[in-house]
Structure 1
Amino acid sequence: MTVSSEVPGVEDEAPADESVESAPEDAPARSRWRRWADLPAMLAYLLLSGYVTAEFWSDPNHREPVFLNGNDAMLTQWFLAHSAHAVAHFENPFFSTALGAPEGVDIAGQASVLLLGLVLAPLTLVAGIGVTTCVVMTGCVLGTAAAWYWLLSRRLGLHRGAAFVAGLMCGAASSVAEDAVMGHPHVAAQFLLPLIIWRVVLVARAERPVRDGLVLGLLVTAQALIGEEVLLITAMAVVTFLVAYAVRQWRQARAAVPALLRGGAVAVLTAGLLLAVPLWYQFAGPQHFTANPQSPLPFGRSVVDYVGLPVHTLWWTTAGSWGMVAPVLGLPIVLTLLVFGWPLRRNVVFTSAMVVVLVMGVLSLSVDVHLRQRVFPGIGPWRLFAYLPVFQWVIPLRLALIVIPAAAIGLAMIIDRALKRWAEGARWPSAIAIVMAVVAVAFTVPERSTYDTVVFPSTPRFVTSGAWQRYVPDGRTLVTVPPPSLQSFDGMRWANDSHGDIPIPGGYFLAVSPDGKSTTFGPVPRWTTQMLNTVDATGQVWQFKDGERERFLADLRYWKAGVLVLVPTRPHVAALRETVEELLGPPQQVDDVVVWDIHTLV
């Protein structure tokens, strides 16, 4: 299958690794070759995913990323655990009061990777949340690389070697590999994007627009339940590509409009019906929110992100003003596209992909454009979209995630052309182009320290044995000392290790502010949370004043607490214990923790 047979406007050339004319007796041999030809690429992508996730697999239940002290990763684990809980107990997957009790959390409005959690629920229930998290991280890298390889080799008909390099670039990209281990699978899970893009192509070909529109709607639904932001960014890139394509191939584009309208209508109707319930929860359900906890506009890319050199790679260390920790593309890739892409300037697929690189790259600079220490305020074209509904939620730097596969398509086409030229006898120019492209991609693979982890304490046997259930009847919560908040994630870890069964107050997620006009990272801490966090930070026993015991009990009643459990690994556990003892008396020793059974008290 060639590029030209599937996408109009591309030169009609056979792939370099397939013979145009093959003898009939060679058919079985060719069939066997095609069956196994992709195996080396898949093994290489598996090694890449292992390189990225090795530390997590070494101890799945006690490893978390260094980034933000594992906060985002902990929240993602809670979402995965909640999905398993919802499956096991036939509960609502879009809303829960098991986190942030008693108000609860609007799961449909969070980056909850709901589809992944539901699909992997059996694994979570059997193997635990740590193993599921490692599978998700591995799948993001492996699946994304393999999906782009499939699109380029099997559908666009490019040489497998060219498709392999492009897939490697997509899988090793910071928006995939780094976001996967940082706890952002809603960004890193990009394996459906090539399928969505290809289905749009099939809709435009007008062979079966209704069927292809239906499949497109199913794929859009699936991606929306993994990561809506990535879906929106992909839609922007597809529109950009189609416009660029139409400028070069107006007659073909105009002929495809009726099929795109029919197939698009079917896709929108299908996705709309399937997503009606989660979208209602997201925009109108309980605890839904309508504002960002902070403006996303400061989080834009710098110009140097695209033309700088990677600071730390497997091969070198760069210093100076042009060094970037994780460049989107980097100078080697930009130079390769500029120099060796010139012969492909008449190829409409190549030029349209480069337009996507340029447009989405410029938009990712946000409103205020940064060039190292210099800032050019207000000149970024993202200002045209920044305040529109839906777009106001987009973090501008994430627009660059589609720049990487678009540039990878360009590199793959450069390598594919070079391999064909090599076969025709043009050795040196082809060799230089291939080496430049491969080396440019190799320099994007970060060094191992990028994926470093930290070890967190084991979950108490009180939790893992299920002993907690005797103290938390239906309608009650387990309150850790200190309570779950941005300063203490122990309660969320314990809930994760119980497959989401333990209901807790507080926590870390996007919550509605008390006035309902803004969003906060977790519920606003109550007096008891602030008091115990102060004790935990200072090591000083709290000196209670008149009326504070009543405030303490009022918070416990608000949380519908059934039991208080002292976190045994806190740095000032003795001060925490003495503080609570002054209010509730001596605790009980249960397994490896001390508890205050208060369900009759409150």
Structure 2
Amino acid sequence: MTLGWVTDRSDADRSGVSVAEKAAPETVDPRRIRRWVRRVRAARTDLIVAGGYVSLAVFVLAGLWRNPDTAYLSNSDQDQTLYEWFYGITAWNITNLESPFSTQLQGYPDGVNMMANTLMYGWGVPFTPVTLLFGPTVTFVAALTFGLSGTAFAWYWVFSRELVESKFAAAVGGLFCGFAPAMISHTNGHPNFVVLVLLPFIALQVITMARRADSAPQTRPVWQPRAAIVLGVLVALQLTLGEEPLLIFALGFAVFALAYLRNRRTIALTVRAVAPSILLGALVTLALTGFGLWWQFAGPQSYRFIGHGRVGNDLLSLFQFSSASAGSAVSFGPDVAINPTEHNSYFGWPLLLLVFVTAYFLRRERIVRAAVFVGVLFTVLSLGIVLSVDGVLTFSEGKYAMVPMPWLVFGWAPPLNGIIEARFAMIAIPAIAIVLTLGVQRALDQLRDSTVDRWRPVAWFGALACALLPLAPTMLPVEDRTPTPAFFAEGTVRQYISDGSVLIVPPPTATDAIALRWQVDSDFAFPLVGGYFCGPSGEDKRSGYGSDPRPTGNLLTLVRAFDTLPVVDQALRDQALVDLRYWEADVVVLPPTDNADALRRTVDQLLGFPAQQVDGVWVWDVRELI
């Protein structure tokens, strides 16, 4: 009333009657206020959880963030160099309006099928400005940081909206999904297996579509075009980030859905109801990615089969602690990992024990049963075609005995033959997270229930701490990278390039790909003989890494390996000339490397004239010779 009187200055309005007749201010619905408060609190909690995930991801990659220009992940082998090249060539193609499908900058003269490699266009394209301004290393470490924290938050979001009421319980599940030992291991050099942010949302979209179809009154198929388009776009985006993790996750999710629905009739009705929408989503995905997929499998330099050899997990790896985990100091047994980037299991025995005990007490929950079934099944598949224990094949009564595993039945069929089977264990990560999330929720419920003994939930939280603390990630080690020779960094190489390529002595391969960094630092000034990429090998176009080796390249590789001068005769000189002409080489370059003197003297004899030292490298200009 006072406000109404003050804002109206007429005499009539100052009377008691006029004041009384003024409309009373509208009252705010208390329920609306409570909803608004809940949303603010929920958003605040989400931001806190996201901030925690980001902080942990930055800690894991702190060594690389501190010195992105000079630091290199110690356990990355050649993969950091490879992905920096991927992000660099993506930015270069965009700024120079070059084709994103193929390039001759590696593997000259045959080139590289870019779509048949894990370029992660879904990250590299939008981050092109970052790559151009700060370099591909920043794009690389940003992808890893976002992958760890974003994957954790995506699962937290799904768990908190669909699985449990407690944000704390959902945060625990998201934490494990984003920072499990396998995720930290792949952070050493496989961003395509770290940026898994879209996978939980793809699963959520399918679940939502199935739920809507199930709630519809009619029994015929339910048409959901908008949801199908969203699903198609999500899958298409994931294809631009990583095909193999999408395939593995799709297999795991399909088995999970079947295990959850159980009843044949229920499965049939659900499939019938959502099939039209799923098919529409597939058509949307195909429309967005169809040409790229065709180029990948049928374009130039495509390949028909990927052979990785026997790459299953050792049985002990399920119970051990990863070298990148806090519990590595108390791990047992020999190191049975494939390599530092493939710690795909390493759950640790305390966590496995807790999960199975918790699953037993929650066995009435359908989702728990389905999660356990999927986790166990894909963990068994991850053991490969033959069981390995303690680093050796299993044996009986002192004699080795081949124990075949289920993957022996499926691993030969395309496209499954392109999967590294050890990675199937990553399906167990969200399965374990589901059990942990529900376990935390039930423990919190019991703590709030005054009629239940408090010791049980307290003991469970103690066991949870004992299971997760040994899996806490440590900071990934880094080392100083070798500086780029001035011959490449300052652009001197351009003076030696006409229309041909640069032959590094010996040619770069998957085990020594540092020349890719030199090419990036020269702003892709030259095509490179050899390299590190996936391409066809041999007459049957079987997949291999890098170009098919040629005799002169093999000779130079052996000279560096054994530091021994070969007997160079006319046959070797003629072969060198044939190979140089095949490579269309303009210049041969010997950078600082092991056994450089033996390499230089060998090339001198092969070419018939001595090298010149230019800007820190030895150079043979072979344009007139060829």
User: Match for residue 236 of structure 1?
Assistant: 251
What is the deviation of 1:88?
1.6
Q: Does 1:502 align with 2:526?
A: yes
User: Can you list the C-alpha shifts for 1:552-588, whole angstroms capped at 9, x where unaligned?
Assistant: 2322221122222221x21333343344344263545
Structure 2 counterparts to residues 30-429 of structure 1, below 5 A: 30-67=38-75, 70-181=77-188, 183-206=189-212, 209-247=224-262, 255-295=269-309, 298-308=310-320, 313-315=325-327, 317-318=329-330, 320-321=332-333, 327-372=345-390, 373=392, 375=394, 377=402, 379-425=404-450, 426=452, 427-429=454-456
- Structure 2 SS opposite 1:562: strand
Identity over aligned pairs, percent:
31
How many angstroms apart in 2 are the aligned matches of 1:36 and 1:119? Answer: 28
Tell me, yes or no, if the aligned pair for 2:184 and 2:324 is still in contact at 8 Å.
no
Shift of 1:491: 2.0
Whether 1:477 and 2:501 are equivalent positions in the alignment is: yes
CA contact (8 A) 1:356 1:403 kept: yes
**Residues 312 and 62 of structure 1, relative CA distance in 2, 3 Å threshold:** closer
SS at match of 1:206: helix
Residues 74 and 493 of structure 1 are in contact (CA less than 8 Å); yes or no, is this contact kept in structure 2?
yes
Seen in structure 2, the aligned counterparts of structure 1 residues 593 and 94 have a Cα distance that, compared at 3 Å, is same
Tell me whether 1:443 sits opposite 2:477 in the alignment.
no
CA gap of 1:498–1:119, structure 2 versus 1, over 3 A, is: farther
**Offset, 1:309:** 5.6
Residue aligned with 2:72, SS: strand
Pick from 475, 490, 507 the counterpart of residue 465 of structure 1. Answer: 490
Distance in 1, Cα, partners of 2:293 & 2:268: 33
Question: What letter corresponds to residue 318 of structure 1 in structure 2?
Answer: V
Q: Check whether the contact 1:46–1:142 (CA below 8 A) recurs between aligned residues.
A: yes
SS at match of 2:133: helix
Out of 510, 517, 525, the position equivalent to 2:549 is 525
Q: Deviations over 1:152-181 (max 9, x none)?
A: 123434411111111221222232111121
Instruction: Call closer, same or farther: CA 1:340–1:575 in 2, change over 3 Å.
Output: closer
Inter-partner Cα distance in structure 2 for 1:490 and 1:561: 19
Aligned to 1:4: none
Give the SS at the match of 1:337. Answer: helix
Does structure 2 retain, via aligned residues, the 8 Å contact 1:95–1:281? no
Alpha carbons of 1:440 and 1:570: their partners in 2 closer, same or farther (altered >3 Å)? Answer: same
Shift of 1:315: 4.9
Q: CA, structure 1 residues 167+552, in 2 after alignment: closer, same or farther (shift >3 Å)?
A: same
Give the greater-gyration-radius structure (CA). Answer: 2
CA–CA distance in structure 2, aligned partners of residues 178 and 42 of structure 1: 21
Task: Give the aligned residue type for 1:572.
Answer: N
Cα distance, 1:446 vs. partner?
Answer: 4.4
Distance across 2 between alignment mates of 1:75 and 1:406: 32
One-letter identity of the residue aligned with 1:363 = L
The offset of 1:109, in angstroms, is 1.8
Closer/same/farther in 2, CA of residues 269 and 537 from structure 1, 3 Å limit: same
Distance 1:95 1:85 in 2: 13
Residue of structure 2 in register with 1:8 after alignment: none
Distance 1:217 1:499 in 2: 36
> 1:452 corresponds to which residue?
477
1: distance between equivalents of 2:63 and 2:262? 48
Instruction: Specify the code of the residue in structure 2 equivalent to 1:41.
Output: V
Give the Cα separation in 1 of the matches to 2:404 and 2:559.
Answer: 48
C-alpha deviation, 1:436, in angstroms: 2.0
Residues 47 and 394 of structure 1: is their aligned pair in 2 closer, same or farther, counting only changes over 3 Å?
same
User: Is this contact kept in 2: 1:56–1:453, CA < 8 A?
Assistant: yes
Q: Does 142-151 or 481-490 show the bigger shift?
A: 481-490
Is residue 571 from structure 1 mapped to residue 571 from structure 2 by the alignment?
no
Gap change, CA 1:217 and 1:553, over 3 Å in 2: same
Question: What is the distance in 2 between the residues matched to 1:287 and 1:310?
Answer: 37
Residues 501, 529 of structure 2: 8 Å contact kept: yes
528 and 306 in structure 1: CA distance in 2 versus 1, 3 angstrom threshold: closer
Unaligned runs of 5+ in 2: 1-28, 214-222, 338-342, 395-400
Q: Deviation at 1:470? A: 3.3
- Alignment of 1:534 with 2:558, yes or no, is yes
Which deviations, in whole Å up to 9, do the C-alpha atoms of 1:440-492 show, x marking residues without a partner?
222222444xx32333311123323333233324x421222332235643322
1:226-257 C-alpha deviation (Å, 9 max, x unpaired): 22111111111111111112116x77655533
Alpha-carbon distance in 2 for matches of 1:89, 1:463: 20
- Structure 1 position 400, deviation (Å): 0.8
Go from structure 1 to structure 2 and tell me whether the alpha carbon gap of 1:501 and 1:143 turns closer, same or farther (over 3 Å shift): farther
Please state how far the C-alpha of 1:590 moved relative to its aligned partner: 4.3
Instruction: Provide the rounded CA distance (Å) in 2 between the counterparts of 1:494 and 1:309.
Output: 37
**Residue-pair matches, total:** 573
Q: Which moved more, 1:542-551 or 1:222-231?
A: 542-551
Distance of aligned partners of 1:537 and 1:383 in 2 relative to their CA distance in 1, 3 Å threshold:
closer
Q: How has the CA–CA distance of structure 1 residues 253 and 532 changed in structure 2, closer, same or farther, with 3 Å as cutoff?
A: closer
Partner Cα distance (1:320, 1:355) in 2: 27
SS at match of 1:511: strand
Structure 1 residues 312 and 37 mapped into 2: Cα distance closer, same or farther (>3 Å)? Answer: closer
Q: Given the superposition, is the C-alpha separation of residues 322 and 210 from structure 1 closer, same or farther in structure 2, using an over 3 Å criterion?
A: farther
Distance 1:309 1:579 in 2: 47
State the secondary structure of the residue aligned to 2:329: coil
TM-score, normalized by length of structure 1? Answer: 0.87
Cα drift, residue 589 of structure 1: 4.9
Contact 2:326/2:474 (8 A) holds in 1: yes
Q: What CA deviation, in whole Å up to 9, does each residue of 1:342-363 have, x standing for no partner?
A: 3432222222222211222222
- Shift in Å at residue 408 of structure 1? 0.6
**Distance (Å, rounded) in 2 between the aligned partners of 1:470 and 1:422:** 75
Counterpart residue type for residue 223 of structure 1: Q
